Amino acid sequence: MTFPRRRIERIEDFVPFAPGTALEAMEVRVESGDDEHLAITMPVCERVRQPAGLLHGGMTVFLMESAASMHACWGIDLAERMPVGVEINATHLRAVSDGSVRAIARVVRRSRTMIVHLVEVYHVESGRLVSTGRATNYYVPAAKPEAQRERDTHRGSGSERA
């Protein structure tokens, strides 16, 4: 996936994230966001249900991690550093079999090297809490474009000496 090489400061800035990813396949939509939260929704349909017809717990965790990881991009220079998920936990509180679910990721702690979110998932139609959890992202240096890697490799190879 190619990330936009700029700051994410509006929900519209997330549009380049979805094409060709699980976000697109699961029809995840960004609803709202700011410095402190991000809300996304996903329909509960056949492809996200487990054999008993209920929303699969793994799909709920996918939605939770997506909300937290996307929000971890908010306001940072993606050309300099990228968030990488290092921990997630979830407690499923009730079953859902239809409608849509909304994950709301809220910042608990943010530092230069990491960000921790509390994530709650609600059934949109009833407003009832479905799952709750926490996700932690660590910021790593962004991958350099290929041309920059080649220049750095050439400089360090000693080939500039004659």
In the chain, the domains with their CATH numbers are 11-156 (3.10.129.10)
Alpha-carbon span 36 to 20, nearest angstrom? 27
**Which position among 12, 27, 46, 65 bears the catalytic label?**
65
CA dist 55 → 66, 117, 125, 159 (Å):
16, 22, 14, 58
Annotated active-site residue 27? The verdict is no
pLDDT in tens, 127-142: 999 999 999 999 999 8
Q: Are 73 and 40 in contact (CB under 8 A)?
A: no
Share of the chain above pLDDT 70, in %: 85
Strand-pair partners of 37: 34, 106
pTM of the model: 0.84
Alpha-carbon span 66 to 78, nearest angstrom? 17
